[in-house]
Chain A
């Protein structure tokens, strides 16, 4: 006999319990808990709100109400909503459409699938549009298109940036061809806004598909995405049916788009406001520069007795600082942007924006790794066409926003490979030379280690080119030179001397304007001796170019390259 049957149980008084009102009886109020679709866990709704609707168990992102999103992003009490009274249209007289809209309006307390308006983001004024999936999957009908267009027109007039949080099933079927025209209408309004030099940021949230992806969602100067969001033109099910095969895991998710060059950054919801406000800050040229922190450093020139070949070896040295180290030291607020908007994000080139002495600048660098693993990721600093196209995209953006461009050059050369040729390595380099020659903002290039051939020049058509003392700049590697001319790559040291590839040579040939002295053995530990000099000279460059005439810059740059050779 088990113990449980032997114990005597509680003797309760048999008096009827006082009837409690139903509202006082223990029960779970509706909405106290929410269930995560991804992991099935029950989550305390208050906690979920505090965590901005990210599942505390599995990290799954819940779709957010427009109102919650605005509360998260816009400073309290500063939001001013626009265009809530456009009224419904039913251009194709679709039966039952108006009733459906009205029911949704009552249920969601939204007037349509997007909320637009303006407000402050950590004090920075901006227009904002937030789509809400509860309203017919946030499909774009004429009211959505109209609200977006009006917001851009007003932003253009008032000189304000625009941020849109996208989420949509695409075009609105009930409005047919008129819905399709919204894609053109919104895109045109964005073009006018952009032509005024104004900033547009899109944040792609789950799901962003169809006609919205194929119009305003992909037109941001900066395109951000929330982790794991479904982003695509055709829906995954449609693709699977069409091609008759199963799609791979992660296909059309934010991270997939980042890898394929369509997204600048995947940003966690928790840090989104700070991230956006930082970008806004970097795009507000308030003219407050501070050169106080940058002191002119006295250069201790010493006799450099190293041979050309010594310098080749030094410039390729395993422990020599790489571009990331310079960026960290010179541009601590650097924000990296990814992707060429065609096929890929090439990590052999990194680019983004930062401030120097209070001035916003675009920084683009050829980037080797610190170790083998990083080097594999960054392809040993040998860019693919995608890398050059990313660089060009960021240069053109710098031109739009009137930011100087600082390039850091460190590459053995452009990548030599199958895919690189398929995607037009030569075209990509050529395009950069062509565009850089007439970029209407100041451009400075600094050769920090190796500058190999066209792969280096693609970031080196500039107003000024500076070079570290032990860096090299050449049309090809000394090994290549020796093997072509003498059929013996072992004679590389001899070739190095003959090729005239040192900084000293460059200075005397007029290829570079300045040589930056290096300590005996440049490492991470003494990198500041070099970056201090660069900072001081860079301060001069920035100061000289606070006000600039784009056309005059182009003219000078033309002449700078016009003079080489015969």
Chain B
């Protein structure tokens, strides 16, 4: 097992990882940027190294500085968390070359799933259903139009290196294709420096279903059930829950088994998530594989009782999984609500500033993953997530009540937050009845 782990991240996920390491008796090294010297993760860790100025490119995204901090501090592993360098195959590759254990999959696997065209082909070969559309990325309108005909309208145009909703457009018919294509392409070029685009069938009103996978270095792969992440705004998840209310036992089995096949097809190791789109008809399509721990992992931990971060560390240290698929039992229902420092009344613009006071709830079945405390200055350089509130109850109805109750106790002053907005969603009759799909927010935004 590792003696010392460096956490190449900040915010609540860094705190989450420090806690897991501490429970395992592993020393922790936090890295921070200059404005983060007083961030919770920097104060909580056993050792803290300031690695650079505020801009992520010079700190949390700077591979050289992080590797140097790891070697200088004598850490033997790096946990990348999510975001930042977590899915950077070059970073993973450099860790491998420096004998630093990267807590995640190998660099080759990250590179393979980052290449969406290759990943899709691998999945098709493995018998995992995929969305009809382009197997190759294109960069001209003419090629795009040809592919759109094959995929059938409406079609989705998206960046081959995409993510986070950038470089994506839907074209409902042939005559609007060109404009949609060029807009998406420009965005893609600006955001990712690459103008290769995919064209595929646009699945209407689907649910976003993802399956949590754990795989060790010995070929053992298990799934930990699914998560329904349909409540999204601009492709950013707001509320996640598990299990998905819309799945029959048969369909659940089918999707989860497809996810295991997907992971096996790429010889996956460590924690990963296989994302699917589920049509109202019950048809589901492979979207992508996320080669990292997810923001919403706590709800899976609630219903399975498995600590995913600790499992990640054990797998990276070369230990085999200590349980089989049969040992995993899904119990009750869990919901997670993301609390962001943003202003719902002004297009959800981020609201950095000083947290005057933070009161966060607790109690049975309530968990808060956060990095805020009264007096903390939220810097404007990073993402706006302040905390994740997750709850567990025996069924969905009770879980919603519990989430509402807990959210109603959250008090954060000094910066604007989306707490009331989220409370509103939890009270929405359609949500309570489980009538959700990825267009939920758009449909209810007039309220």
Is A42 located at the chain interface by the 8 A CB criterion?
Answer: yes
CB distance B71 to A42 under 8 Å? no
| Chain A min CB distance to B194 (Å) | 14
Taking the closest CB of chain A, its distance from the CB of B313, in whole angstroms, is: 13
- What are the interface flags for B67-85 relative to A under an 8 Å C-beta threshold, 1 for contact and 0 otherwise? 1001100111000000000
Contact with B along A370-381 (1 / 0, CB 8 A): 000000000000
Cβ-defined partner of B64 (8 Å) among A12, A23, A33: A33
Q: Is the CB of B44 within 8 A of A7?
A: yes
Q: How far is the CA of A479 from the CA of B76 in the complex (A)?
A: 85
Which bucket holds chain B's interface residue count?
20 to 34
Residue of A nearest to B27 (CB): A10
Using known A-B contacts A3-B373, A44-B63, A44-B90, determine if residue A32 contacts B97 with beta carbons closer than 8 Å. yes
Chain B min CB distance to A23 (Å) = 8
Partner of B99, one of A4, A10, A11, A27: A27
C-alpha spacing A381/B373, complex, angstroms: 71
A29 touches B97 (CB 8 A): yes
Smallest CB gap from A22: residue in B: B99
Bound form: Cα–Cα A4–B44 in Å: 6
B318 CB-CB contact with A under 8 Å = no
Smallest CB separation, A354 vs chain B (Å): 25
Q: Which of B70, B71, B90, B94 has the most CB of A within 10 A?
A: B94
Report chain A residues within 8 Å CB of B63.
44
Q: Does A47 sit within 8 A of B, measured CB to CB? A: yes
Q: CB within 8 Å of A: which of B42-100?
A: 42-44, 46, 63-64, 67, 70-71, 74-76, 90, 93-94, 97-100
CA–CA, A25 and B44, complex, Å: 26
CA distance A7 to B100 in the complex (A): 28
Is A10 a contact partner of B25 (Cβ separation < 8 A)?
yes
Q: How far is the CA of A42 from the CA of B76 in the complex (A)?
A: 22
Interface membership of A99, Cβ < 8 A: no
Q: How far is the CB of A44 from chain B (nearest CB, A)?
A: 6
Q: Give the residues in chain A near B70, CB-CB below 8 Å.
A: 26
Q: Indicate the member of A10, A11, A27, A33 with the most B CB atoms within 10 Å.
A: A10
Q: A10-B25, A10-B26, A26-B75 are in contact. Are A47 and B90 (CB under 8 A)?
A: yes
A331 to chain B, nearest CB (A): 23
**Residues 513-557 of A contacting B (Cβ, < 8 Å):** none
What's the minimum C-beta distance from A10 to chain B, rounded to whole angstroms? Answer: 5
Tell me, in angstroms, the Cα distance from A25 to B42 when the chains sit together.
25
Q: List chain A residues, Cβ under 8 A from B97.
A: 29, 32
What residues on B are CB-neighbors of A13 within 8 Å? Answer: 25
B21 contacts chain A at the CB level, 8 A cutoff: yes
A7-B43 CB under 8 A given contacts A26-B75, A27-B71, A27-B99:
yes
B235 sits at the interface (CB 8 A):
no
Q: How far is the CA of A360 from the CA of B185 in the complex (A)?
A: 38
Main secondary structure of the interface of A (DSSP, over half): loop
User: How far, in whole Å, are A42 and B43 apart by their CA atoms in the complex?
Assistant: 29
Contact: A26 with B71, CB < 8 Å? yes
A17 at interface, CB cutoff 8 A: yes
Chain A residues closer than 8 Å to B113, beta-carbon distance? none
Is the pair B21, A10 in contact by a Cβ cutoff of 8 Å?
Answer: yes
Cα distance A27–B100 in the bound complex, in angstroms: 8
State whether the Cβ of A284 lies closer than 8 Å to any Cβ in chain B: no
Known pairs A7-B43, A10-B21, A44-B63; A26 contacts B99 (CB<8 A):
yes
Cβ of A26: which chain B residues have Cβ within 8 Å of it?
70-71, 74-76, 98-100
Residues facing B in A1-48 (CB within 8 A) are 2-4, 7, 9-13, 17, 23-29, 32-33, 42, 44, 46-47
Q: B46 touching A9 by the CB < 8 A rule?
A: yes
How far is the CB of A273 from the nearest CB of chain B, in Å? 22
Residues from chain A with Cβ under 8 Å of B174 in the complex = none
Could you tell me the distance between the alpha carbons of A275 and B237 in the complex, rounded to whole angstroms?
A: 48
Q: Would B98 and A28 count as touching, CB distance under 8 A?
A: yes
Q: Any chain A CB within 8 A of the CB of B33? A: no
A25→B77 CA distance, assembly (Å): 11
Interface centre among B21, B25, B373 (most CB of A within 10 A): B25
Task: Name the distance in Å between B222's Cβ and chain A's nearest Cβ.
Answer: 29
**Residue of B46, B67, B76, B99 most packed against chain A (CB within 10 A):** B99
How far apart are A191's CB and chain B's nearest CB, in angstroms? 47
| CA of A24 to CA of B374, assembled, Å | 43
Contact between B25 and A2, CB atoms less than 8 A apart: no
Interface residues of B in 347-388 (CB under 8 A from A): 373
Nearest-neighbour CB distance to chain B for A41, whole angstroms, equals 8
- A44 lies within 8 A of B43 (CB): no
B172 interfacial contact with A, CB 8 Å: no
B residues near A12, Cβ cutoff 8 Å = 3, 25-27
The chain A residue with its CB closest to the CB of B376 is A3
A11 vs chain B, min Cβ distance (A): 7
**A10/B22 contact (C-beta < 8 A), A26-B100, A27-B99 known:** yes
Does B28 sit at the interface, judged by CB under 8 A? yes
Residues from chain A with Cβ under 8 Å of B21 in the complex = 10
Interface string of B181-193 (1 = CB under 8 A from A): 0000000000000
Q: A28 to B27, Cβ gap below 8 A? A: no
**CB-nearest residue of chain A to B47:** A9
Complex CA–CA separation, A4 to B25 (angstroms) = 19
Residue pair B94, A44 in contact (C-beta under 8 Å): yes
* Residues on the B chain within 8 Å of A32, using CB: 94, 97-98
Chain A nearest Cβ from B25, distance in angstroms: 5
Give the Cβ gap from A47 to chain B, nearest Cβ, in Å: 7
**Nearest residue, chain B, Cβ from A46:** B93
Select from chain A the residue with minimum beta-carbon distance to B97: A32
- In the complex the two chains form, what is the Cα distance from A243 to B393 in whole Å? 86
A7 and chain B: residue at smallest CB distance: B44
Closest Cβ–Cβ distance, residue A19 to chain B (whole Å): 12
Residues on the A chain within 8 Å of B373, using CB = 3
Chain B residues with CB below 8 A from A11, complex form: 25
Closest to B95 in A: A26
Report the minimum CB–CB distance from B394 to chain A (whole Å).
35
Look across to chain B and name the residue whose beta carbon is closest to the beta carbon of A35.
B64
Question: What are the residues of chain B within 8 A of A44 when measuring CB–CB?
Answer: 63, 90, 93-94
**Binary flags per residue of B288-300, CB closer than 8 Å to A gives 1, else 0:** 0000000000000
Q: What 1/0 flags go to B304-326 for Cβ under 8 Å of A?
A: 00000000000000000000000
* Proximity string of chain A (283-315) to chain B, C-beta cutoff 8 Å, 1 when within and 0 when not: 000000000000000000000000000000000
The complex places the Cα of A391 from the Cα of B28 at a distance, in Å, of 71
Of the residues B28, B43, B46, B67, contact of A28 by C-beta under 8 Å: B67
Contact B3 A17 (CB under 8 A): yes
**Given known contacts A9-B46, A11-B25, A29 and B3 CB-to-CB distance under 8 angstroms:** no
Question: How far apart sit A213 and B373, CA to CA, in the bound complex (Å)?
Answer: 68
Contacts of B3 in A (CB 8 A): 12, 17
Bound CA span A36–B22, Å: 40
Considering the chains assembled together, what is the distance between the CA atoms of A17 and B70 in angstroms?
18
Q: How far is the CA of A3 from the CA of B42 in the complex (A)?
A: 10
B293 CB to closest chain A CB (Å) equals: 20
**Closest partner residue, chain A, to B101 (CB atom):** A26
Q: Which of A108-140 contact B (CB under 8 A)?
A: none
Interface residues of A in 123-172 (CB under 8 A from B): none
Residues of A within 8 A of B42 (CB): 4
- Contacting pair B71 A28 (CB below 8 A): yes
**Which 6 A-B pairs have CB atoms at the shortest separation, nearest pair first?**
A4-B43, A42-B64, A26-B100, A10-B22, A9-B46, A26-B99
Interfacial residues, chain A to chain B (CB-CB below 8 A) = 2-4, 7, 9-13, 17, 23-29, 32-33, 42, 44, 46-47
**6 additional contacts, CB 8 Å, given A4-B42, A13-B25, A26-B70?**
A10-B25, A10-B26, A25-B76, A32-B94, A44-B63, A46-B93
A-B contact pairs, 24 of them (CB 8 A): A3-B40, A3-B373, A4-B43, A7-B43, A9-B22, A10-B21, A10-B28, A11-B25, A12-B27, A25-B76, A25-B99, A26-B71, A26-B74, A26-B75, A26-B76, A26-B99, A27-B71, A27-B99, A28-B71, A28-B98, A29-B97, A32-B98, A33-B64, A47-B90
Q: What is the interface of chain B, defined by CB distance below 8 A to chain A?
A: 3, 21-22, 25-28, 38, 40, 42-44, 46, 63-64, 67, 70-71, 74-76, 90, 93-94, 97-100, 373
